[in-house]
Amino acid sequence: MLALCATATKAAPAPITFTGPSGELSVVLEVKSGELKYQLKRGGSTLIEPSHLGFVYVDRDSLSGLKSVRTVAETSGTRKIYPGYAYSGLDVPYKEAVVEAIRNTGEAVQITFRIGDSGLAWRQAMPAQGQNRRISFDRAEWCLPSGVTLWTQDGGAGWGPCEGIFSAAPAEKLHGTRSGPVTVEYGDKRGYLLISESGNMDLGFAGVKYVIDGPRIRSTFAFDLTGFEPNGDAKWSPWRTVIAAKDLTELTTNGWIDSLAAEPDKKLFPAGGKDSWIKPGRAAWSWWDSGDVSYDAQKRYTDMAAEFGFENNLIDEGWEHWSTPSSDKWQNIKSLVEYGKAKGVSQWVWKRWSEINDSRDDWKQMGDFMDKVKEAGVVGMKIDFMDSNSQSRLRFYDAAMRKTAERHLMVNFHGANIPSGESITYPNQLSREGIFGLEQTGWTAIPFTHYAALPFTRCATGPADFTPGYFGHREDKLDGSTWSLQLATGIIYTSPALHWVSRPQDMQEAFPEGSLQRQVIKAIPSVWDETQYLPMSKIGGLVVVARRRGDTWFVAGLNGGPEAQATVKTTFLGKGKYEGVVITDAAKHDAWDVHATFAQKDSTHLFRVQPGGGFVMMLKPAN
């Protein structure tokens, strides 16, 4: 962080305006009727109408009874981050201002506003030691212009683990509590808005959900309605965050939420997250498709991982109860680790959160278990079923990320809340669920619109472990989708811990040895260097993305709407000729058409995509 530059501190009852680096976005602050309100604009268009912010403590409303607001410091800078969709690095420029809201009592409350070219965020200074720090509720709200469309999770997910189905509705027709994020579609040149939070770790805060009352959206601590007291050393709140994007590429690749998260601790991550033991990768996973988590099954899935070039195998729930080949669970895991090592495959293990949730002695129970995991040679843990973003549960996350990092273990959370930049502060947290993913087809249907909404809703907040790729023949698992869509989701949804869910026999049938499609799935990475959503993309409809890793491009499409044609012009390619593979829908859902192709910059490719269908094109420089 750059040093703050002192500026004038004269009280300013008139509105204060701050603009982003390019001057397109601006935020206006004004005290009205004794209350501080903010307004977000792009040029002359209003994105957020004047709206409240600030916390209410048990003994006072921190941002009411105000007489003025003044700027006390301003700075600017650029944050370098390494998210999964831009793993070679992304620069996020910003301007920042610290303002003081002056109460009639003379008390000054500080709020930091940060504005970029793609977003706005603010956080509030915590009261000094000795003052009452117990927060009753959050007054933060986002008052939207009339006529906008909201993309939200279904109401049933409002009180659960952020695993709801996304759908659209006019704002005026929506009411009730929802899990985040909330994506706003203006339907005109104003583009899109996404409401979420960032930096909610190591502060002792509760997580937020959103109460929607038509075009007025407000924050709520849904799991801590009676209030909570943050950590004693917390100087600032988490960031209340909005992404403001002109198009869908900007909405999904701006880096705004991640750029607000704290820097990694150099003691834990000397290389700033590029530490050699942090290794994004793909994994075989037996639990969802076969349900077989036996020792012998893990050997078969390890073999499959090696065959397809996947870096990892995930050993899910049940491994602690194996009685063969040994009654010692740790000896069994060590044996599998050695088996995988000979084939170039590492092992991850699953653990239920409640079994390591004893916070006494600095989470000694958790640390002792992780010591055993590390000693066995395992490289990462999947921790499951937190199902809450309460203050106590977020403290568990903080401990789990820190304890795994101390042991050079990677971690992936399931039954989780959505990201708020954790993978930036703790780069060993490769991914998390917090998404209505493919495993849900075990008990309910996934609407095609949900597939096509995810890139611009949940996935826009951070890594999402959707667990893609069913390539078997059970219609109850395909649920009307095609193999081509299933393959496309492994490209479109970003997860540095990428779990392919199909059984070895289905993988070998769908991707025969020597086939073009096997070349494709072996080449799909878990992190990317560049991402572009093509102009025909629409939230909930036809989605087409071009993504690059190294010199290889993948174009992937999926269709959440009626049958459509995608006209892909390869303007993103470099000079010279490219060769590759095209995979498209076949007449049957559990099949595909595959052929070789050639391309160059500005060549045109047509794809007919059925409802619930998809396509994939891989292109690399021709020899």
Report the distance separating Cα 437 and Cα 497, nearest Å: 14
Pairing of strands 592-600, 552-559: unpaired
The reply to whether 49 falls in a domain is yes
| 77 and 206 inside one domain | yes
The secondary structure of residue 236, as a DSSP letter, is: B
Identify the pLDDT of residue 299: 98
Q: What is the pLDDT of residues 55-107, one digit of tens each?
A: 999 999 999 999 999 999 999 999 999 999 999 999 999 999 999 999 999 99
| 331 and 246 inside one domain | no
The reply to whether 461 falls in a domain is yes
604 and 555 Cβ atoms separated by less than 8 Å? no
Q: Between the CA atoms of 27, 31, 36 and 40, what dihedral angle is there, to the nearest 10 degrees?
A: -20
Domain boundary among 516, 550, 569: 516
Mean pLDDT of the region 491-496: 98
| 318 and 204 inside one domain | no
| 225 and 252 inside one domain | yes
Mean pLDDT of the region 342-371: 98
Domain boundary among 197, 224, 259: 259
Residues of the chain with pLDDT > 70: what percent?
98
| 427 and 326 inside one domain | yes
The length of the chain, given as a count of residues: 623
Q: 């994994």: which residue's tokens?
A: 283
| 539 and 467 inside one domain | no
Dihedral over Cα of 19, 21, 23, 24: its sign: negative
| pLDDT of 6 above 80 | no
For the chain, the domain total comes to: 3
Q: What is the pLDDT of residues 549-600, one digit of tens each?
A: 999 999 999 999 999 999 999 999 999 999 999 999 999 999 999 999 999 9
Asked if omega into 238 is within 30° of 0 (cis), the reply is no
Pairing of strands 119-124, 25-32: unpaired
- With vertex at residue 410, the alpha carbon angle to CA 237 and CA 194, rounded to the nearest 5 degrees, is 40
Report the distance separating Cα 240 and Cα 251, nearest Å: 17
Count of CB atoms situated within 10 Å of the CB of 616: 28
Residue 214 Cα distances to 146, 174, 177, angstroms: 9, 5, 12
Residue 188 Cα distances to 19, 184, 209, 247, angstroms: 22, 12, 27, 10
| 241 and 138 inside one domain | yes
Question: 246 by DSSP, 3-state: which?
Answer: coil
| pLDDT of 10 above 60 | no
479 and 438 Cβ atoms separated by less than 8 Å? no
- pTM of the predicted structure, to 2 decimals: 0.96
pLDDT, averaged across the chain = 95
Q: What is the pLDDT of residues 135-155, one digit of tens each?
A: 999 999 999 999 999 999 997
Domain boundary among 228, 259, 290: 259
Dihedral over Cα of 222, 421, 373, 338: its sign: positive
Q: Which of 459, 164, 444, 470 has the alpha carbon at shortest distance from 288?
A: 470
The tokens of 64 are what?
Answer: 């009411």
Rg (CA), the chain: 24
The reply to whether 352 falls in a domain is yes
Report the distance separating Cα 267 and Cα 269, nearest Å: 6
Q: 């000094």: which residue's tokens?
A: 128
Q: What is the pLDDT of residues 228-287, one digit of tens each?
A: 999 999 999 999 999 999 999 999 999 999 999 999 999 999 999 999 999 999 999 999
Phi, psi of 207 (to 5 degrees): -85, 165
Domain CATH number, residue 611: 2.60.40.1180
In DSSP terms, which residues pair with 116 in a beta bridge?
Answer: 94
**H, E, C per residue of 110-166:** EEEEEEECCEEEEEEECCCCCCCCCEEEECCEEECCCCCEEEEECHHHHHCCCCCCE
Cβ neighbors of 368 (< 8 A, separation 6 or more) are none
CB-based burial, 486-506: b 16+ in 10 Å, e otherwise: bbbbbbbbbbbbbbbbbbbeb
In DSSP terms, which residues pair with 312 in a beta bridge?
Answer: 283, 346
Domain CATH number, residue 483: 3.20.20.70
The tokens of 613 are what?
Answer: 């269908």
| 550 and 441 inside one domain | no
Residue 433 Cα distances to 62, 66, 258, 492, angstroms: 35, 42, 17, 15
Mean pLDDT of the region 381-388: 97
Q: Which of 471, 453, 551 has the alpha carbon at shortest distance from 507?
A: 471
499 and 432 Cβ atoms separated by less than 8 Å? no
pLDDT band at 158 (very low <50, low <70, confident <90, very high): low
The residue range of the domain holding 147 is 5-259
The tokens of 233 are what?
Answer: 């050393």
Q: What is the pLDDT of residues 189-201, one digit of tens each?
A: 999 999 999 999 9
pLDDT band at 443 (very low <50, low <70, confident <90, very high): confident
Phi, psi of 45 (to 5 degrees): -100, 135
Identify the pLDDT of residue 129: 80
The reply to whether 524 falls in a domain is no
Mean pLDDT of the region 324-328: 94
Phi, psi of 93 (to 5 degrees): -80, 155
The reply to whether 145 falls in a domain is yes
Q: What is the largest CA-CA distance in the chain?
A: 77
| 492 and 538 inside one domain | no
Mean pLDDT of the region 505-521: 98
Identify the pLDDT of residue 1: 35
| 378 and 503 inside one domain | yes
The reply to whether 436 falls in a domain is yes
Q: Between the CA atoms of 175, 181, 182 and 185, what dihedral angle is there, to the nearest 10 degrees?
A: -160
The reply to whether 393 falls in a domain is yes
| pLDDT of 157 above 80 | no
The reply to whether 274 falls in a domain is no
456 and 485 Cβ atoms separated by less than 8 Å? no
The tokens of 396 are what?
Answer: 């568990």
Report the distance separating Cα 518 and Cα 12, nearest Å: 65
Residue 530: in which H helix or E strand, if any?
strand 530-533
| 462 and 541 inside one domain | no
Phi, psi of 615 (to 5 degrees): -160, 160
| 122 and 55 inside one domain | yes
Q: 């096997």: which residue's tokens?
A: 518
Question: 475 by DSSP, 3-state: which?
Answer: helix
